[in-house]
Amino acid sequence: MSATRVSTGIPGLDSILHGGFIKGTNILVLGGTGTGKTIFCTQYLYNGATIYNEPGVFVTFEERPKELRLEAKQFNWDLRALEEKNKLVIIDAASSKASIPSDEAYAIHRDLDMNILAQEIYRATRKVDAQRVAIDSLSAIGIKFEDSTAIRTSIYKLSTLLRELNVTSVMTSEMPYESGQTSRFGVEEYVAQGVIMLYLREEDGELRRSLVAQKLRASSHSLRRYPFEVSSRGITVMPGGGL
Ligand SMILES: Nc1ncnc2c1ncn2[C@@H]1O[C@H](COP(=O)(O)OP(=O)(O)O)[C@@H](O)[C@H]1O
Ligand SMILES: [Mg+2]
């Protein structure tokens, strides 16, 4: 029996992934700044709720919820309307990081504590019966920890919680291009069941976007690079890619 697939809500991506993400798994989206990680998360949750009637939870560490709602508007994604219909919860983990008080219903009010974060995710997931969760980004969690063992433990805990909640989740992380590491802590890709890498590179004097989807433990020679674009409709992966 083949695994149930969850549509990514990103045109062109499902077919690359043989129908979408495997239901209940935890996918890591890696990329540098400006590669489209936040848009990816927002589109996954917005289209998930509006097209597939799968409510979602967005844990935002980088942008405050009001910034996220504003940015989503340029793609005609009305996050507020989804929140009012109990199709989306945004957990504000960004304000406390910036030492700004949060007036959001779901927020981490003090210094980031993994147990409190886990409780908020649990509460939010139960509230809307979420099928999808996005965490943007894990890199932000690293700021609070000095030693890499604590970071690994935290990421592992988070990933285990997400699987226990039986949601299909996306976690983002910055990817340093310069070093040999493929992710910031060198651990995220081991706790995730799939990795999508987003690239923004100069080719022939033009900035081009592309993505590589990597199934864990799959042979590396099966990896292909697909061009994608960001437009007023969000991310669209080009058909016939695979350069
Ligand atoms: N309406 C739009 N049309 C085209 N490109 C856009 C639009 N809105 C944002 N972008 C592009 O999306 C990128 C930002 O995406 P984002 O998801 O915030 O990146 P990340 O989270 O990886 O830093 C920027 O490079 C910006 O140029
Ligand atoms: Mg971002």
Sign of the torsion angle spanned by Cα atoms 159, 161, 167, 171:
negative
d(CA 90, CA 65): 7
Q: In this predicted structure, what is the pLDDT of residue 182?
A: 62
The CA 198 to ligand 2 mean position distance, Å, reads: 12
Q: How does pLDDT run across 135-148, given as a tens digit for each residue? A: 999 888 776 666 77
Question: How many beta carbons lie within 10 A of that of residue 181, not counting itself?
Answer: 12
Maximal C-alpha separation, the chain: 49
Q: What fold, for 5-237?
A: Rossmann fold (3.40.50)
User: What is the Å distance from ligand 1's center to 67 Cα?
Assistant: 13
Q: SS3 of 157, please?
A: helix
Q: Are 31 and 199 in contact (CB under 8 A)?
A: yes
Ligand 1 within 6 A of CB of 232: yes
Looking at ligand 1, which residue's alpha carbon is closest to its atom 16? 36
Give the range with max mean pLDDT: 138-142, 151-155, 164-168, 202-206. Answer: 164-168
- Specify the pLDDT at position 177: 52
pLDDT of residue 70: 98
Query: pLDDT digit string (tens) for 46-63?
Result: 999 999 999 999 999 999
Q: Name the residue ranges covered by the structural domains of the chain.
A: 5-237
Atom 25 in ligand 1: which residue has the minimum CA distance?
34
Q: What percent of the chain is predicted at pLDDT more than 70?
A: 87
d(CA 41, CA 105): 20
Q: Which residues pair with 119 in a beta bridge?
A: none
Q: Rounded to the nearest whole angstrom, what is the distance from the C-alpha of residue 234 to the centroid of ligand 1?
A: 9
CB neighbour burial string for 222-236, b if at least 16 within 10 angstroms, e if fewer: eeeebbbebeeebbb
Residue 243 has a pLDDT of 52
